[in-house]
Amino acid sequence: MYLIASLILLAIVLVARLANKWRVPLVVISLFAGILFGSDVAGIIYFDNALLARQIADFALIFVLFIGGFGTDQNKLKPVLKPALVMATIGVIITAIITALSLSIFLKYDLVYAFLIGCIISSTDAAAVFSILRSRSLDKKLSSMVEIESATNDPMAIVLTLFAVQLVVAQTTNPLAIGGSFFWQISGGIIVGIVTGKAGGILFQYVKVLDKGYFYVFLISVILFSYGMADLVNASGMLSAFFSGYFMGNSNIPYKKTLSTLLEAISTIANVVIFVMLGLLVFPHEFGNVYLEGIFLFITLTLIARPLSVFCCTLFSKFNFKDKVFISWSGLRGAVPIVLATYPLAAGIENSRGIFNIVFFAVLLSMVIQGSSIKKVADWLRLAVKAKPEPKQIMELVTLHKSDLELIELQIDEELYDGKILISSLRLPEGTTITMINRNEKIIAPQGSTKIFPGDVLYILVKNEMIEMVVSNILKHFDQKKYAINET
């Protein structure tokens, strides 16, 4: 088993390298790796334990949602807070209802089962969207809207799905009790998350005198506590995990960027585990029985339910028509809907295997069709251009106290810029130093007489508040040759 696991992971990395120029999301590669190694294709691994799959996926999702909250910057959240949260809550409900009505009216599904499917597939996938768009730049308000909405709509979809499962199992014998449980799962999860996140930020100040390795242990304990405490009081552990991550990530804690690096690694591993496992769980030969329903679900969701929810929820916002079209098309489905599709299986609901296959097939279509066309849609709407070089922080210069110094990495994109400049001509602010230049994998120790060329990678020691000014100062000395101004 260890050898097979290593081969799966190695295959994912090698395929990602081969498909790098097409920007294929890691989650898509992982999903197909699971299918390839599963019983229907290579026949290496047979896996059909839906209950175990749900347990593992739920555990991984705790970290994914905490990380989503931890990485949600409150400064980016404020300008789009209202429309993003409306989309992440009311928008999810609208999407689920419209999808359910379509399935009930046109495919004659039982309304409760149709609502269950609508809830399962109502959330979008932030990781897949932004892995595709990482080579593009959008209007900051628009990109923040897509990012925040995608990061925050998973908890609502999870709560809705649990509610729908209870409806199916209970057959609405006590709708008031189910409704009260639904309300408490949302409100209780948010309350526990806020308290845990703020308490975690305060307690971090107490343990910061320890070695850095203990910080990682402490962070994982906060993540598990946020879920466990909410689960103990029958609230939504997923919502609690997200909000505890949000409030802790926006508190003033040391080594925040170092912790973010750890969380990014955990998120990557968690997504790989989820999608490989879900790929193993599916049996592609069964798609022959549900592919028409899957196509109908994808079309309904993408061309009707999602656009209607976007236009309704942004009715009084400042987003224009093109923005709303792009937001509608960027509603890429991903890990969470497939994970939620295991809930009916784990609950033993009738025809739950068919529900799982329909959702899986629709998500697969979303990844392939929307995932491969998001950049083209952004270009067609003139909302995206090739991104300017952005500095990457490569070292956090901090001990136990906050530092204003950062070591950043800046690549001079040879597709955008031409010419050459002398370092001595830059007139960098006092305290700013270009410490090293990487040119064609050769390290150069810079001096005032050293020339900088397009394609060079600069390593710059700079004060945090001067990063943007220093980057702009360096880039303006080059001739722009292919950068187009955003026309929106």
Q: Which domain holds residue 432?
A: 392-480
pLDDT score for 20: 73
pLDDT score for 322: 93
Instruction: Please tell me whether residues 337 and 320 are part of one structural domain.
Output: yes
Instruction: Please tell me whether residues 310 and 406 are part of one structural domain.
Output: no
Instruction: Please tell me whether residues 368 and 400 are part of one structural domain.
Output: no
Q: Last residue of some domain: 335, 361, 386? A: 386
Instruction: Please tell me whether residues 199 and 289 are part of one structural domain.
Output: yes
pLDDT score for 159: 83
Instruction: Please tell me whether residues 98 and 237 are part of one structural domain.
Output: yes
Q: What pLDDT, in 10s, does the model give residues 107-136?
A: 999 999 999 999 999 988 765 665 565 555
Q: Last residue of some domain: 386, 410, 444? A: 386
pLDDT score for 339: 84
Tokens describing residue 127: 């990781």
Q: What pLDDT, in 10s, does the model give residues 63-98?
A: 888 888 887 777 777 778 789 889 988 999 999 999
**Is pLDDT of 24 > 90?**
no
Instruction: Please tell me whether residues 471 and 417 are part of one structural domain.
Output: yes
Question: What CATH number corresponds to the domain at position 188?
Answer: 1.20.1530.20
Pairwise CA distance, residues 301 & 333, whole Å: 10
Instruction: Please tell me whether residues 334 and 407 are part of one structural domain.
Output: no
Residue 485 lies in a domain: no
Number of structural domains found in the chain: 2
Instruction: Please tell me whether residues 317 and 451 are part of one structural domain.
Output: no
**Is pLDDT of 226 > 50?**
yes
**Is pLDDT of 485 > 60?**
no
Q: What pLDDT, in 10s, does the model give residues 385-429?
A: 555 555 555 555 554 455 667 888 888 988 778 889 999 888 888
Instruction: Please tell me whether residues 178 and 138 are part of one structural domain.
Output: yes
Question: What CATH number corresponds to the domain at position 399?
Answer: 3.30.70.1450
Q: Last residue of some domain: 386, 403, 425? A: 386
pLDDT, mean of residues 318-325? 92
- Lowest average pLDDT, out of 113-117, 173-177, 182-186, goes to 173-177
Residue 219 lies in a domain: yes
Instruction: Please tell me whether residues 164 and 284 are part of one structural domain.
Output: yes
Instruction: Please tell me whether residues 369 and 398 are part of one structural domain.
Output: no
Reduced 3-state DSSP string for the chain = CHHHHHHHHHHHHHHHHHCHHHCCCHHHHHHHHHHHHCCCCCCCCCCCCHHHHHHHHHHHHHHHHHHHHHCCCHHHHHHHHHHHHHHHHHHHHHHHHHHHHHHHHHCCCCHHHHHHHHHHCCCCCHHHHHHHHHHEEECHHHHHHHHHHHHHHHHHHHHHHHHHHHHHHHCCCCHHHHHHHHHHHHHHHHHHHHHHHHHHHHHHHHHCCCCHHHHHHHHHHHHHHHHHHHHHCCCCHHHHHHHHHHHHHCCCCCCHHHHHHHHHHHHHHHHHHHHHHHHHHCCHHHHHHCHHHHHHHHHHHHHHHHHHHHHHHCCCCCCCHHHHHHHHHCCCCCHHHHHHCHHHHHHCCCCHHHHHHHHHHHHHHHHHHHHHHHHHHHHHCCCEEECCCCCEEEEECCCCCCCCEEEEEEECCCCCEECCEEHHHCCCCCCCEEEEEEECCEEECCCCCCEECCCCEEEEEEEHHHHHHHHHHHHCCCEECCCCCCCC
- Lowest average pLDDT, out of 19-28, 149-158, 169-178, 187-196, goes to 169-178
**Is pLDDT of 375 > 70?**
yes
Instruction: Please tell me whether residues 323 and 468 are part of one structural domain.
Output: no
Residue 49 lies in a domain: yes
